[in-house]
């Protein structure tokens, strides 16, 4: 999960400004779709693996984080190999592989607060058209913060309904889930107000 | 000093949850007790401006909660029952630093204040940890740290130990004991309330007893057992 990916460290990548890393990720994300030579994409993938070494990230943690994406990339590879060509499948797999590794590098070497600050700085010009960058930053932070709480709420309700023999009843799961989440949203709003962060 | 003057509050269209409450709070430790639905949480919320009275007024050091909410909230911190509703940032130190955002401090001062408050509540070693991975007591201490980092003169606590086991309850109680701020604490925990200077007892929206802890708790226990 993204919120637990950051790994404290003092590598050159940890020290790079979050804004620079975000910009590089965005540029690579666009630029990579202009490259269709598998050799260049493979070289880029090797560079990404090298950057993981530079960041001194524990290999076990990186492998565990990559694994779900690897499965997804495998599915894409298989589909493209069947429906298109092997070369297209390789190109698609390499592109996704590079983006996943770069995304993980960003998440594992950058604190969320630094990412939020970079996002707010990046969105600052949009103030002219009424956008409030600090709100966008808050939305990002809170989304990440509340993912495990929503998951825990679901687990609690699912266990309670299972105890009543209603584990297959979608309404019995969704109605209390919705009620609990709306109540929590109210309570979080009050907490933000109480902390003087309502405006 | 917090002054509550002839306050009545109703959540329209329901009947009033508080009726004609007047009280001046200046002691260091003030407890608020009462049965469920007696109006004690609404009373606590009035003190920080989270609830604005339908009639009457509440002032904190002369600032009116209706018209000067920002000044009031700078003075009155609020700790909720469930810390999961109060912690809004993913990492421990980020949540504490988030409270300082409106003060626009430079990074060095911000880090110093965050470090000091985390040290005080034994959370220094956890500063880079995800908040969701903390124990119940640690979460409540984090929520408390996030409030106290702004150095409020008053702290309102709404049942801060209700969801905690004995060990975590003691952790939070020790933290409350050590606070410099004036504390107003809503709780069903009568052992905690015994340590307070003054207790307000609410019943059906009315302030029915206001006095020292032992007398107030005896009054409350009698009122709950006689019927």
pLDDT digits (tens, 9 = 90+) for A137-151: 888 888 877 887 888
Residue B226, pLDDT score: 61
- The CA-to-CA distance between both ends of chain B, in Å, stands at 37
For residue B123, is pLDDT > 70?
A: yes
Cβ of B70 and A184 within 8 Å? no
Question: Which positions in chain B touch A196 (Cβ < 8 Å)?
Answer: 70, 73-74, 102, 150
**pLDDT above 90 (res B22):** yes
B-interface mutation test, from A187, A188, A194, most B Cβ less than 10 A away:
A194
For residues B80 and B44, give the distance between their C-alpha atoms in angstroms, rounded to a whole number: 10
Contact with chain B for residue A163, Cβ under 8 A: no
**What pTM was estimated for this model as a whole?**
0.76
Residue B101 has pLDDT above 60, yes or no: yes
Cβ–Cβ gap A3/B130 under 8 Å: yes
- Angle at CA of residue A176, ends A172 and A177, nearest 5°: 105
Q: How far is A14 from chain B (nearest CA, A)?
A: 14
The terminus-to-terminus CA distance of chain A in angstroms comes to 30
From chain B, the residues in CB contact with A133 under 8 A are none
Q: 3-state class of A1 per DSSP?
A: coil
Nearest residue in chain A measured CA to CA from B90: A145
Q: Give the chain B residue whose CA is nearest to the CA of A152.
A: B132
Strands of B51-168 (E only): list them: 55-60, 63-64, 76-79, 154-158
- pLDDT tens digits along A79-94: 999 988 999 999 999 9
Q: How far is B69 from chain A (nearest CA, A)?
A: 9
Q: What is the pLDDT of residue A124?
A: 87
8 Å CB contact between B16 and B202: no
H or E element at residue B185? strand B182-186
A4, A134, A188: residue with CB nearest B88: A188
ipTM of the complex: 0.79
* Residue entry with tokens 């109480």: A194
Q: Which residues of chain A have pLDDT under 70?
A: 1-4, 198-199
Name residue, tokens 């598998």: A38
Q: Cβ contact (<8 Å) for B102 and A3?
A: no
Which residues fall within 8 angstroms of residue A122, CB to CB, at 6 or more apart?
Answer: A19, A22, A133
Q: Measure Cα distances from A141 to B87, B95, B98 in Å.
A: 11, 10, 10
Task: List, for residues B180-205, the tens digit of each pLDDT value.
Answer: 889 999 998 888 899 899 999 999 99
**Of A90, A94, A8, whose CA–CA distance to A47 is shortest?**
A94
B36 pLDDT above the threshold of 60: yes
B90 vs A3, A195, A197: nearest CB: A3
Element (H, E) at B20: strand B18-25
Contacts of B124 in chain A (CB under 8 A): none
B201: left (phi over 0), alpha (psi -120 to 50) or beta: beta
């Amino acid at each position: 999960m993204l919120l637990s990916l950051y790994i404290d460290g003092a590598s050159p990548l940890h020290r790079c400004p979050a804004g620079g890393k975000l910009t590089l990720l965005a540029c690579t994300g666009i630029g990579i779709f202009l490259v269709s030579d598998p050799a260049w994409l493979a070289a880029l993938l090797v560079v990404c693996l090298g950057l993981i070494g530079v960041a001194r990230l524990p290999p076990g943690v990186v492998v565990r984080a990559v694994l779900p994406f690897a499965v997804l990339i495998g599915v894409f590879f298989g589909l493209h190999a069947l429906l298109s060509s092997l070369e297209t499948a390789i190109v698609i797999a390499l592109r996704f592989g590079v983006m996943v590794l770069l995304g993980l590098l960003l998440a594992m070497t950058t604190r969320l607060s630094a990412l939020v600050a970079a996002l707010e700085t990046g969105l600052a010009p949009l103030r002219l058209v009424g956008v409030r960058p600090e709100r966008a930053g808050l939305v990002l932070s809170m989304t990440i913060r509340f993912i495990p709480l929503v998951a825990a709420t679901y687990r609690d309700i699912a266990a309670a309904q299972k105890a009543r023999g209603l584990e297959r009843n979608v309404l019995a799961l969704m109605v209390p889930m919705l009620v609990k989440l709306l109540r929590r949203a109210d309570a979080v709003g009050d907490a933000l107000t109480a902390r003087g962060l309502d405006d | 000093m917090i002054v509550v003057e002839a306050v009545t509050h109703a959540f329209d269209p329901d009947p009033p949850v508080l009726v004609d409450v007047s009280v001046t709070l200046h002691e260091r430790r003030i407890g608020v007790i009462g049965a469920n639905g007696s109006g004690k949480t609404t009373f606590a919320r009035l003190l920080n401006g989270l609830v604005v009275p339908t009639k009457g007024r509440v002032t904190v050091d002369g600032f009116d909660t209706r018209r000067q909410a920002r000044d009031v909230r700078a003075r009155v911190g609020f700790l909720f029952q469930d810390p999961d509703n109060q912690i809004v940032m993913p990492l421990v130190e980020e949540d504490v630093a988030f409270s300082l955002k409106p003060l626009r401090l430079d990074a060095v001062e911000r880090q110093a204040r965050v470090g000091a408050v985390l040290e005080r509540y034994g959370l220094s070693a956890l500063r880079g940890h995800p908040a969701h991975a903390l124990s119940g007591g640690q979460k409540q201490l984090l929520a408390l740290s996030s409030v106290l980092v702004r150095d409020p003169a008053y702290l309102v606590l709404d049942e801060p130990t209700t969801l905690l086991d004995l060990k975590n309850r003691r952790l939070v109680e020790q933290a409350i004991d050590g606070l410099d701020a004036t504390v107003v604490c809503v709780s069903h925990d009568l052992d905690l309330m015994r340590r307070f200077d003054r207790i307000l007892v609410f019943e059906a929206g009315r302030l029915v007893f206001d006095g020292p802890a032992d007398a107030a708790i005896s009054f409350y226990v009698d009122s709950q057992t006689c019927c």
